[in-house]
Amino acid sequence: MTICFETIAQTVSTNADMKARAASGACEGFWLRAENQTGGVGRLGRKWESPKGNLFCSSLVEIRAGDPAPASLSFVASLAVFDTIRHHLPSTEIRLKWPNDVIVSGAKICGILLERAGDKIVVGIGINVAVAPGVGDRAVTSMAAEGAATACDADTVLRLLATKFEARLQDWRLSSVAAILQTWQAHAHPVGSPITTSVADGSKISGRFEGLTDDGALRLRKADGTLIEIRAGDIEVG
């Protein structure tokens, strides 16, 4: 796979642009970065704040015969972000949080959004490189705030991210999803951690984290011993 890059000054959403590029024949390995993004969207339709200096990018994965379930690419992307941030912040506490958050020093540092585009998956990634934007009551941080070198800018982070993503993507194709999930779990909140999840009707369910199912759903052990599976939503750890 050949990795190539394009940077544009401003757009509404790199994911929206990448969907159009996919329809026009863009191939796997192409990365689109915007220096400024005015309408970025995160999971569950949330607005993704996009201050200048941070990384806003999207790439493509072609779904091939024999590939694992496309939804599991969420774990591939979060591991690639983990690898990238670990390179720049080798001594900082970094954890993965289900389904695809990367948590640095207890605060959110990135957003990941996967969207279907025909026989391709658009992988949108935003990383707080220079600025930690305010997002209500959520703790957020940036690579700069955590001590990354001043030479660590959005373009530098993207080029390392693309390499890390390619490596994790090859693992995804050549090994099993189980191996990817096992690696993800090794960097995540430990089994037994207290968690609370919000479900579709707005109510909350609390319990203990019991790992992941074979397809990446979260397993939660309620106080009465009941084991349930969560396939969508947000969780709070602790």
pLDDT digits (tens, 9 = 90+) for 145-180: 999 987 789 999 999 999 999 999 999 999 889 999
**Cα–Cα distance list, 237 to 106, 152, 195 (Å):** 10, 30, 4
Q: Rounded to the nearest 10 degrees, how much is the dihedral formed by the CA atoms of 6, 7, 11, 13? A: 60
Considering only 91-95, 134-138, 181-185, which range has the smallest mean pLDDT? 134-138
Model confidence band, residue 49 (pLDDT cutoffs 50, 70, 90): low
Share of the chain above pLDDT 90, in %: 78
Average pLDDT, the chain: 91
Both structure tokens of 170: 């090859």
Q: At residue 142, does pLDDT exceed 80? A: yes
pLDDT (tens digit per residue) in 195-210: 999 876 778 999 999 9
Model confidence band, residue 44 (pLDDT cutoffs 50, 70, 90): very low
Q: What is the pLDDT of residue 191?
A: 94
